[in-house]
Amino acid sequence: MGILVVGSVAFDSVKTPTGSRDEVLGGAATYFSIAASYFTEVGIVAVVGEDFPETHVSFLQKKGIDISGMERKVGRTFRWKGEYGIDLNSRTTLDTQLNVFADFTPKLMSAHRAQEYLFLGNIDPDLQRSVLEQMTKRPKLVGCDTMNYWIESKRKSLLNTLSMIDLLVINDEETRQLAEESNLIRAAKRVLTMGPKILVMKRGEHGVLMFCGKSIFSIPAFPMEEVTDPTGAGDSFAGGLMGYLAACGTHDDAALRKAVVFGTVMASFNIMDFGPYNLGNLTFPEIEQRYREFRQLSYFEDLAAKSTEPLPEL
């Protein structure tokens, strides 16, 4: 089953402790769709300017991504510039030029309106709802992302959107801010009263907590010796997660756990290089291999059992 994702397509300028890049292909919908493309068919709803080059178009098309919903408008593409601190956990946005993204009013083509899986990327919550309202039937699963800006400036509208979705993917700080509660578990429980049935809380290098009903699932991040650029980690995580769920067509507990692991694996590949190029040049066996390594890494025996598994090698 395919996914439709709405969100930003951008040029990113990024500085990390190991280097910098100017105007590489970026944007939340870009990272999301590349990660999801390993699992299922994906269509992007986005806007770019006249300066968006053919090389980026063909890169996305080669991944099998349907870009027929990527509108090209007169003007410049959205630009984002950021710098990471020494431990890569803190990020400062240095510049945001919305350009054609400022008047983004997503209009779904009829071929996209019946998609079974929908991911509402980090855009104005009014626009997120307008996308959902254009669907001819309620998708099987609606995922959503947001950010501090919308939590602060459009809280009422965001709460309205949250009442209509199934799965929310946000980080720990956003969860605290949204719930107005500093304890993460209590904050998560409060968010689950706002509409979403599933909350997937990203915690950077500390991994992910997933809350669903009364259940909780916790996994670490995949330990990486070299992190080149964390940009897009959250979006490629969401792409892997939604991609796997769409591919298996169910979201029971077992599928959700696997989906969170696949999301973590996709994010770990993404942070190995600037831009989405490492993420975009993988084979599915490489993804499966890292999934298995990750399982071995987090495996431990039940209390009564004798350990049979050797420790994985570094």
Task: Please give the residue ranges that form the binding site for ligand AMP (CB under 6 A).
Answer: 8, 10, 12, 26-28, 80, 96, 122, 231-235
Q: For residue 58, give both structure tokens.
A: 């063909």
Closer Cβ to ligand AMP, 18 or 289, answer by number: 18
Q: How far is the CB of 96 from ligand AMP (least distance, A)?
A: 6
Tokens 């410049």 — which residue?
Answer: 76
Nearer to ligand AMP, 13 or 40 (CB): 13
For residues 26 and 11, give the distance between their C-alpha atoms in angstroms, rounded to a whole number.
5
Nearest approach, Cβ of residue 307 and ligand AMP (Å) = 37
Nearest-CA neighbor of 169 among 265, 241, 275?
241
Quote the CA–CA distance of 184 and 13 in Å, as a whole number.
Answer: 32
In the complex, minimum distance from the CB of residue 298 to ligand AMP, in angstroms, rounded to a whole number: 23
Both tokens of residue 201? 């809380």
| Dihedral of alpha carbons 39, 42, 46, 49, sign | positive
- Residue 41 or 174 with smaller CB distance to ligand AMP: 174
- We find the least distance from the C-beta atom of residue 26 to ligand AMP, in angstroms, to be 3
Pick the closer one to ligand AMP by CB: 116 or 172.
Answer: 172
Given a contact cutoff of 8 angstroms between Cβ atoms, the answer to whether 246 and 39 are in contact is: yes
Nearer to ligand AMP by Cβ, of 31 and 294: the residue is 31
**How far apart are alpha carbons 253 and 215 in whole angstroms?**
9
CB of residue 249 vs ligand AMP: minimum separation in angstroms?
26
* Beta carbon nearer to ligand AMP, 49 or 232: 232
Q: How far is the CB of 21 from ligand AMP (least distance, A)?
A: 12
* CA-to-CA separations, 83 to 17, 41, 171, 203, in angstroms, rounded: 9, 33, 19, 19
Question: Sheet holding 19-26: strands in order across?
Answer: 19-26, 10-16, 78-84, 91-97
